[in-house]
Structure 1
Amino acid sequence: AARRRVRHRAGGGAPTDGGHCPPGPRPATRARPRGARVVVEARADHHDHPHHHDQHDHAATWPAAGPAHRDRPRPDRPACDRSHVRLQPHRRHDQGARRRQGGVVRQNVAVIDELDGMHVPATFFLAGKWMERYPDTTARLAADPLFELGSHSYSHRAFHTPCYGLGGLPVGEMAADVMQSFDVLRRFTDHPVPYFRFPGDCYDRTSLAAIASTHVAVIGVDVASGDAFGTSVRAIVDTVLSQAHNGSIVVMHVTGGNTAPLTADALPDIVTGLRARGYALVTVTDLLRPAAQ
């Protein structure tokens, strides 16, 4: 979903002080052509947080496509000549405790059904533990030509704290945690995309440096849909449509339950509204592809 540049972080929370994540990069301002690309990105985190969503050493690396550092350390997206917006349905991390307490299912297949039914490409950022908990859903996503799968870490611990109550991940374990998530991804697909989203979108220069050896491309976000713990479908739709902007990346959740109960209900009006404004929905790969290609 394309949105105007917003000062919200992934998962729906407005940026706050105290080390919380900065907003994603502002897309370059351009005329909004009809048929412009919109990226729908779905990421699945492992636990919930109210405003968003045994490690191994690995020598394997991705082709050098690492994050571009901003004035404040935030991952940038290359400039494009097309209008892009990325919807990111994702899972969040404090769901773990809730699952332990009540065994609640933390996936929302209806979100996937809606994206499929409307032929909306999406990039899902999945946590390794979530994939292990929901292998059938992960296999479905991997087999769907509309979707591509990236990493949202293995453990979904915070790479920078404070971060919505997430437990912190030691700096020395960060690179291994990222690569472990790709190990899980490769059980389902032989072509995971080399993209990574920080849990809670919380990071700093230290965490960026800690994962530099993995050569993943860190993907930011600039539009939070507000579906996390949302209570109004109309509010979610209006938030996305009012904030859509060329190059925007919109984050949504595929958790369901009481953490993101209205995402699937909001998607039809969001997608219809964006397309009516001339946006094309694309994956992150298409978003980052040079306009000449």
Structure 2
Amino acid sequence: MTVADHLRTLLDTPVDSITDLGASHEWTLHRAILGDRTVFVKTSTAPTTVFAAEANGLRWLADRANRPPELLPEVLAADDRMIVLPWLDEVGATPAAAERLGRELAALHASSPGHYGAPWQGWIAELPLDNTLSDGPWSRWYAERRLAPYLPRAATHLGPDGVRLLEQVIDRIDVLAGPPEPPARIHGDLWSGNILWTADRAMLIDPAAHGGHRETDLAMLALFGAPHLDRIRAAYNETHPLAEGWRTRIPLHQLHPLLVHVALFGASYRAQTLTAATTALAA
């Protein structure tokens, strides 16, 4: 079945045209025109639970009281080979949109799901995420579900000394994690590439959503840089003040995505990962 045929069946609507946009990880990306609307389509050649996780995450992040309704795109359809979202026209980030994102991200985090993890199998890129539900503490959940599972796959690139360094972080996680925080609804993979800047606001896409620590999303924004990051942080902190010492914990929260990058892309991320681990231990 072609992408157009699959899309036509899934939405029960005529498909006027499809434009291929290349690939991301193991999926192909497309822009489709359906009469008077345009949609974004991501597809897989083999059945996968990745799209269910993405759809669940977007819906779950939006399923809270007093939510900013435009922060997350509506899921138009999803099955085991395709997910369909509204097409978003991108423009450059503005200071005003960045400040709005900071406020709305703070509002998102202020809504606690009551547990760490999520009631579905998670994914980050093509790697599985263990979303086993837990009442906490977050430190143990993070060590057992977000750090330890990626060490075996990253070990070849980290080397024995690097693995031991990460194991020290895991051993000291309760001390390094800072003051207790209630679970927050977090995006879970909030690097700048998962923020689309539209005419007046930011939209969040491709979540690895779960109940986690709100500092994780802010640390991820800082990992590869985000437009107007200082404005995002300032607006966030005015809306939902961060706990003392949050800046010193940034490297700890960055260790999970860095380990994922080592597992996916190899030794080119080794030095950055070990620097983050060393800095986390020093804090």
TM class, shorter-length: under 0.3
Higher helix residue share: 2
Rg: which structure is higher?
Answer: 2
Instruction: Give the TM-score, by structure 2 length.
Output: 0.27
Which gives a bigger RCO, structure 1 or 2 (Cα 8 Å, sep 6+)?
1
TM-score normalised over the length of structure 1: 0.27
